Amino acid sequence: MNIANVMSRFSALSGIENSQLYKWHTLIEDACAFVSSKCIKSELDENDIKRLEMLCAVYALKMSSMCNDDNITSFTAGDVKITSPGGSNFEKLWSELAAKSADLIKIDGFLFGRVM
């Protein structure tokens, strides 16, 4: 997986200019590490790698939207529940892409308030 490709996708999806991407580099690396840790396919072709890079970018977007959202309407520390209207679009996109990539990654356990 190429971090530059992930950062490019993150920039395109988020609207963040390339000159500002350095602020998000660590978060994007963390997203790549998470998605890579969930990869179940050992032999990846070029298409698989592109799909994983997109998953990484969307996962990073989802995390950044939670960190950067000024409109958080609810927060519960008990079972970690965060409600934010802004981040819900990226949550939906992540869920859709993860479901379409079930041949590449396995998502299990708790992930941002829901059991996957």
The rounded percent of the chain whose pLDDT value lies above 90 is: 42
Dig out the tokens for 105 from the structure: 């990654």
**Is residue 29 within 8 Å of residue 76, measured between CB atoms?**
no
Cβ density class 43-65: b for 16+ within 10 Å, e for less: eeeeebeebbbbbbbbbbbbbbb
The pTM of the full predicted model, rounded to 2 decimals, is 0.75
Query: Looking at residue 115, what DSSP letter applies?
Result: E
Number of domains present in the structure of the chain: 1
A 10 A CB-CB count for 40 gives: 9
For 111, the enclosing helix (H) or strand (E) is strand 110-111
Opening angle at CA 36, ends 95 and 82, nearest 5:
40
Residue 56 sits in which domain range?
A: 3-115
Q: pLDDT tens for residues 19-54?
A: 888 989 999 999 999 999 999 988 999 999 999 999
